[in-house]
Amino acid sequence: MGSTSLKIAEIRSQFFMELEKVCYAKDVEALKIRYLGKKSPLRGLMQELKECKEEERPQFGKMINDLKEEIFHHLDHVLQRLLFSEENSKVSQEKIDITLPGRKRFLGHMHPVTLMLKKATDILIHMGFSVQLGPDVDSDYYNFEALNFPFDHPAREMQDTFYLNTETLLRTHTSNVQVRTMEKYKPPIRVIAPGRCFRNETISSRSHILFHQLEGFYIDKEVSFADLFATMEEFWSRLFEKKVKTRFRPSYFPFVEPGLEVDVHCTSCNGGGCKLCKYSGWLEVCGAGMIHPEVLQAGGIDPEIYSGYAWGMGIERQIMLLYGIDDIRKFTENDIRLLSQFY
Ligand code: PHE
């Protein structure tokens, strides 16, 4: 009996000595295994109990259990204390580095073509036009025939066409919206039609198979050349954000009569002559003219009563002129270094 209680006292003092040396939470776990685990001296004592006198057993059993509980309690206490102080010192060592610069956010940009279409459309809406969209895939009728391009007319060769079959094609210009609109509405009609166009051209710095146009037309009683001139001056001045002079040269498109080419005073040299305008002082900006009586008729509008003007401009070309971009292919390459300059 005496030797057993001595052993218990020894284990106890041994435990407290070791516990005093513990510095880290992880060591508490090791100590726990050593004193409460399967191979602990207390377990050994439990085995020895079987050999001692029966009447002494409950007393020893209790002593061993009390010590186990005491050990458990102290281990837990020390563990909580160490965990707390370890957490505290970790937090006090962590510093927030406020010298790190903020992250730059990269916002998306609108494509320059979208921006130019939007700019032109906004100006023209303010000038009283409303928007009509035509289909990219259209019939030969609306793209050519109704616009006074008969089937075997050589003028068709002005626009190399992607045919899907003999009747269907990818529109070569936004003029396909003209007769469609006339069929739908009665004059006065004041419409613009922005959109994509396609031509079977060899791709180069100056021409592409995919490009954008904006068409505009006005049909009413007594619409004259003077209205077209005034609209052109006003529109191009607003687009180039300064008063620009316009010039009109005779040209040919089957759906207008007379047909014109519209020039504006070079935006870069103001007419003095520079590389951009090839030293002519003028930039060619769009085709235009008075809507051909045959076209009005195809749209169900009486040319004896009504007249109208129309113009059509290439969007990529305007951007190239305005920003000095020398290659139309850049609009489809989508190089972020170019695109990010437009917003
Ligand atoms: N559709 C013509 C073209 O693509 C431009 C144009 C439109 C000319 C309207 C006259 C009137 O070249």
DSSP string, 20-57: HH--SHHHHHHHHHHHHSTT-HHHHHHHHHTTS-GGGH
Q: Phi first, then psi: what are they for 245, rounded to 5°?
A: -85, 145
Per-residue pLDDT, 1 = 52
DSSP-derived 3-state class of residue 152? coil
Q: Which helix (H) or strand (E) holds 264?
A: strand 256-265
Topology classification of domain 112-342: BirA Bifunctional Protein; domain 2 (3.30.930)
Each residue of 85-133: pLDDT tens digit? 989 888 888 888 788 888 888 778 899 999 999 999 999 999 999 999 9
Q: Which atom of ligand 1 is nearest to the CA of 313?
A: 5
Per-residue pLDDT, 342 = 87
Sites in the chain below the pLDDT cut of 70: 1-2
Residue with CA closest to ligand 1 atom 9: 311
CA atoms within 13 A of residue 295's CA, in its CB half-sphere:
28
Q: What does the CA dihedral 229, 233, 236, 239 come to, rounded to 10 degrees?
A: -130
Each residue of 289-338: pLDDT tens digit? 999 999 999 999 999 999 999 999 999 999 998 888 889 999 999 898 99
User: Hey, where are the domains in the chain?
Assistant: 2-93, 112-342
Per-residue pLDDT, 251 = 96
Per-residue pLDDT, 269 = 86
Segments in the chain forming alpha helices (H) = 2-21, 25-36, 41-49, 57-93, 112-126, 140-143, 176-184, 225-239, 293-298, 315-323, 330-333, 336-339
DSSP-derived 3-state class of residue 281? coil
Q: Which atom of ligand 1 is nearest to the CA of 175?
A: 1
* Cα gap 143→163, rounded to integer Å: 11
- 215: β partners: 193, 312
Is the CB of residue 308 less than 8 Å from the CB of residue 276? no
* Cα gap 83→70, rounded to integer Å: 20
288 ligand 1 Cβ < 6 A: yes
Cα 123 to averaged position of ligand 1 atoms, centre (Å) = 20
Cα 53 to averaged position of ligand 1 atoms, centre (Å) = 119
34's tokens = 């050593």
Residue among 201, 125, 116 nearest 158 (CA):
201
Cα 149 to averaged position of ligand 1 atoms, centre (Å) = 13
311 ligand 1 Cβ < 6 A: yes
Q: Is 69 exposed, middle or buried (0-12, 13-18, 19+ CB in 10 A)?
A: exposed
Is the CB of residue 233 less than 8 Å from the CB of residue 244? yes
Ligand 1 mutation target, pool 144, 173, 211, 228, most atoms within 8 A of CB: 173
153's tokens = 């007319």
175 ligand 1 Cβ < 6 A: yes
* Cα gap 177→241, rounded to integer Å: 28
